[in-house]
Amino acid sequence: MINKKISISLITSLLTSMNLSAEDSVQLSSITVSTATKTEQSIQDVTSAIEVITKEELEERHFIDAIDAISSLAGVSFNSNGGLGSKKTVYIRGIDSTRLLILVDGIRLNDPANTQDGSPLHHIMMENIERIEVLKGAQSGVWGADATGGVVNIITKKNKLGTNFSFYSEYGSFNTRKFGMNLGYNNEIIDLSASYDFVKSDSFSAYAAYGTNINNYEDDAYENQTYGINLTYKIDDNNKIKTSYTKINSFVNTDSSSADSLRTYDYDTQLINTSYNFKSKNYESDVYYNYSFFDRNYDKVGSNNYYEADVHELGQKSRLDYYKDSYLVFGADFKRFNVNKPVDNNYKNFGLFFNNTNRFSDLVFTQALRYDNYSNFENKLTGKLGLKYYLTNDFDVSINASSGYNIPTMNQLYGTSGNINLNPENTTSYDVNLRYKDIKISLYNSIIEDMLAYDFGTKTYTNFSGENTFKGFEISYQKAIETDTILSLSYDRVVAKNSDSEYIRRIPFDTLKMSLDYYGIQDFHFNLNGEYIGKRYNSDDKSGRQTGKYTLWNSVVNYDINKNFKAYFKIDNILDKYYQTVDNYATSPRAFYIGIKASF
């Protein structure tokens, strides 16, 4: 018997990923995103390359963390310094985490004191996530600094009407235990929810000399506790207030790349939002305050490194619908970035922005402009232009040109390896996107001038003069086969070169991804997914160890016990492939996980 739920949940997921489907274009108009222009809009009106990982995909794939989820998309890769909780670097079209703006419900997750991976994205667990929006290409014209490679916006779950309760539990390899619950209530006036997530794992050694067995080393354990509370109060049909609080406490043992040494990381991340929303027929306004706090305690034998930073953001944004299918988003924001340890310094940023969207029948035209005034750096003016044209319901083409910039972190300026003469780096980004029925093709080119990076010669951070280039293309195909199977394929190639025309390290030249979902047996869902990583080198200029040229296969089986309970079984690295993404850092062998979820 064919499982009928594919007709709703997975076809919706298919539509979102592909941006359009001929027979379901009416349904697509109801899919909204909020990252491209800072306001909710139909995905049909987004000219930029955007990918959305839906609630259905998150629930059925059981990703390990946020990086595991977004790396399932075309054009996204990552490398890891060990197992669960270890440092991970994600790349979007070859541009690394330090140049990506990471948001949780619009609150900045970028740590001002972090010079290596930008944000603690690998500590974001997945059970309380509604969807993830990934916007590719420079987006500083909308968001300001840190968005030169794109924006990732993680959006948490919302309550349904009435009382909501859910819980889950998972156990698996490396004595990995997960447990969590969510309790909520929504009567259309008050919407209140609270969540708790717990993860603990013995994991495996972060360090493993290439070719050696990870069982020869001590385990590097991981623990994560995440708390969240959200409250919305609807004053009347036009006014409401919101507040939210998220706290992530995590602890991980890790190693250097040269020895199985004792190192520990303690992370404490807190995110707070308070906002007031006014909405009328043609006008909407938000006044908001966001606060992000980051505390990292890094211990190893003989030394202690303590990092503490926070970001205060006060802003106002408005949306004016001034003509049919045309709207203007405008506003201002003030940010104060504080680094308290290991250096004590701060800088301030005041920004003005507007972005405009016009739809004239089959043509969408977007424009964005942003001015940023800095207390410690030169002021910046950035922008974005985008065009999208629907030749038919099956065929559309879009083109985008945008600018971006990244400012030095406080540690890059004033830390042990700091350089007070650093300047912001500048980015220009172009892409062309084509979709015909179930096939999407994207061609892109991003240029970063005066890139900020660590100089191993002088042992300080510096602006490397010249241009770093990131060129490539993505091809993706997703098709519902008959009524019970979905096939997804993607291939991307990126050529990333530094200012000396050397290939940049740790970025795969080619990546091929595949996913097959089958729903032909009542109450079951079977998924098989795989990834081929092409040539990738541990050091610049195709030097160092070759860390690519391997294929991984994974599988998930979901079973709907009844309307309230679901069970799943997951196998990672089915063929027990030995590989490393960073030289001398271990990756997971074959691993098994079983879990149960309940919702009421």
**Concatenated DSSP letters for 308-375?**
EEEEEEEEEEEEEEEETTEEEEEEEEEEEEEEEESS-EEEEEEEEEEEEEEEETTEEEEEEEEEEEES
Tell me if 277 sits within 8 A of 241, measured CB to CB: yes
**What phi and psi values does residue 118 have, to the nearest 5 degrees?**
80, -50
- Which pLDDT tens digit goes with each residue over 393-427? 999 999 999 999 999 988 888 888 889 999 999 99
- The kind and range of the H/E element at 414 are helix 410-414
Tokens of 439: 């096939």
The residue type found at 432 is V
- Would you say residue 22 has pLDDT above 60? no
pLDDT at 304 (0 to 100): 57
Is the confidence at residue 486, as pLDDT, over 60?
A: yes
In tens, the pLDDT along 190-217 reads 999 999 999 999 999 999 999 999 999 9
Q: Residue 306 contacts by C-beta under 8 Å, 6 or more apart in sequence?
A: 296, 297, 298, 341, 342
What are 155-165's pLDDT values in tens digits?
A: 999 899 999 99
325's CB contacts (< 8 A; 6+ apart) are 45, 358, 359, 360
- 598, with CB counted inside 10 A (0-12, 13-18, 19+), is middle
Q: What region, left, alpha or beta, does residue 361 occupy, with left being phi > 0 and alpha being psi -120 to 50 degrees? A: left
Place of tokens 């929810």: 193
Helix (H) or strand (E) holding 141: helix 140-143
- Mean predicted confidence (pLDDT) in 487-514: 96
Write down the mean pLDDT value for the chain.
91
Cα angle, residue 427 at apex, residues 421 and 429 outer, rounded to 5°:
175
User: CA 429 → CA 299, 375, 384, distances in Å?
Assistant: 39, 26, 9
Q: Nearest-CA neighbor of 485 among 514, 515, 520? A: 520
Q: Which helix (H) or strand (E) holds 298?
A: strand 283-300
Residue 516 has pLDDT above 90, yes or no: yes
| Nearby residues of 585 by Cβ (< 8 Å), 6 or more positions away | 80, 81, 82, 86, 206, 207, 208, 255, 257
Nearest-Å Rg of the Cα atoms of the chain is: 23
| Cβ atoms of residues 44 and 71 within 8 Å | no
Is 10 or 492 the better-scoring residue by pLDDT?
492
Query: For residue 303, is pLDDT > 70?
Result: no
**Structure-token pair, residue 355:** 């972005």
* Predicted local confidence at residue 369, as pLDDT: 98
- 489-503 exposure pattern, b = at least 16 Cβ within 10 A, e = fewer: bbbbbbebbbbeeeb
Structure tokens at 87: 């440092």
The pTM of the whole model exceeds 0.95: no
In degrees and rounded to multiples of 5, residue 221 shows phi and psi of: -75, 165
Q: Interior CA angle at 485 toward 484 and 488, to 5°?
A: 155
Say what the pLDDT of residue 113 is. 85
Check: CB of residue 474 under 8 Å from CB of residue 491.
Answer: yes
| CA dihedral over 230, 224, 551, 517, signed as positive or negative | negative
